[in-house]
Amino acid sequence: MTSPWFNVPALYCRVHLSASHRSREETMPAIHGYTTHDVTLSAVGTFQLVAAHGDRPYFRNEKVTLRVQARIFNELEFQGGGGETIRRGGRSTFGGVTQPSDVNLELTTEEKHEAYLRMGSMGPFTLKHRIDVWDTSPPKPAQGHVNEEFNVDAMLSLTLPKTPGQVRLDAFEKSLIGSPFSCCDSRCEVRLSGLLRLTPDVPVFHLADDTLDQNPIPHCRVRVLCPDGATREFESDEAGDIFIPRASTKDVYTLLEVLDDRAPQSAAIPGTWTVDTVPDRV
């Protein structure tokens, strides 16, 4: 059987992984030990997957980076030998772009169009960060900091459409295997969103809200200064993307303003601006 996915030269992919949860559990009953785990974090990747088909459809990119924002708090509270409450924990707030790693998509069964999307199969996406730590144990309570590496890797199974087309990743959130974040375990809830889409290029602009989920904003009109010096209006599609054909390597587009003359954009103001490099097709 020959899959039509063999005819797809490249996919544009946006993956968004996030977690926002807090738990407090009695993990060491013998010493009245309670563990608090409180995280708010997201990892976003914007990249192309380029065809490298073998005997099955296969797409890959080995230079993907993820943009991470994280706030992590972990603490163990327990009763010491003298009946006193002891706390040991760490807190870290950090953000940045990870070291590059790979992402690949492989169709595993052509009949059912089942596929695996693997992120970091050759090694996790890593980002160094500093954790403020404390230990209130007597007689010498201590505090300081340690440097650690935050890791992200993920694998999920998904079903591709019979005819190549857009795939929404949130439909496959349940198929995430384990936790993608090194600070969480498999019991922690992780949200997945994003999409795979067949586009000839990557979007010039993407509009999203400022929440952890970075929900894409559709139908958002913007005014753009184009390389020819003209100012033109564009509108984001359902995925919050604005595609503009880019011919020359010297083309520069400037987002001048979000047109806020109608709801709901009239109730929004511009926030954070980030630029992701999306390497050309390998």
Partner 1 sequence: MPNLDTLLKATMLLTAAPGAKFQSFDKGASRGAGGSTSGTGAFWGWTHAAKQADRVTHVTHRLRETPWFPAQTLPVLDELVWHPIELVHRGAALKLELTEEFLLRRYEASRGSITQGQSSYWIPADIDRSMLLVFGFQVNLRAAPGTVTLEPIPRDVLERDDFMPEPCATPPAPGEMKVKRTETGTLQLIPLRVLVCAEFVCCTERNDYTPHGLAATSRFRPHLMFICNRPLERMAAAISIRRPPVSGMAHPGTGPTPPTGEPHDPHAPHDGHGPHDGHGAHDGNGAHDGHVMHAMDIPPTTPPAPGPGSPGDPNDPDLMVHEMATGFWSDSNVGLVSWQNLANLSGPPLWSSMFSRVRTNVPAGTSYLMASPDLSQDPGKPGFVSRLWNGREYVAYPQPMNRRQGYFDNIHIAPPMKAPQSIRERYGKPGFHLDSIAMAPFCIHDCLHMHWRWLPTSDKEKHLWGWDASGPYAAAGEPHIPIHQHLRVELESTHAFAYRVHADTVMESGTWQYVLHEGLAHGNSAASETLAQWMHLGLQMLDEWPMPAGKSWAMFYWALRYCRSGDTVRERLLEDGAPVP
How many residues of this chain interact with partner 1, rule: CB under 8 A?
A: 58
Beta-bridge mates of residue 216 = 208
Q: Does 213 bind partner 1 (CB under 8 A)?
A: yes
Query: Which listed residue (192, 214, 234, 239) binds partner 1 by CB under 8 A?
Result: 214
Q: Does 230 bind partner 1 (CB under 8 A)?
A: no
Scan for tokens 């040991």, then name that residue.
Answer: 88
d(Cα 224, Cα 23) in Å, to the nearest integer? 45
Q: Does 258 bind partner 1 (CB under 8 A)?
A: yes
Q: Does 250 bind partner 1 (CB under 8 A)?
A: yes
Q: How many Å separate Cα 90 from the centre of its chain?
A: 24
Q: Torsions phi, psi of 176, nearest 5?
A: -60, 130
- Taking CB under 8 A as the criterion, which residues in 137-196 touch partner 1? 189
Q: Does 272 bind partner 1 (CB under 8 A)?
A: yes
d(Cα 76, Cα 117) in Å, to the nearest integer? 35
Query: Quick one: tokens of 77?
Result: 């509270």
The residue (of 26 and 123) whose beta carbon lies closer to partner 1 is 26
Query: Which listed residue (109, 130, 270, 282) binds partner 1 by CB under 8 A?
Result: 270
Around Cβ 86, how many Cβ atoms within 10 Å?
18
- Taking CB under 8 A as the criterion, which residues in 8-67 touch partner 1? 18, 20-22, 40, 46
Q: Does 253 bind partner 1 (CB under 8 A)?
A: yes
Query: Quick one: tokens of 72?
Result: 């992590």
The residue (of 94 and 253) whose beta carbon lies closer to partner 1 is 253
For residue 107, what are the CA distances in angstroms to 34, 157, 192? 44, 10, 20
Q: Which residues bind partner 1 (CB under 8 A)?
A: 18, 20-22, 40, 46, 71, 189, 202-220, 246, 248-256, 258, 260, 262-280
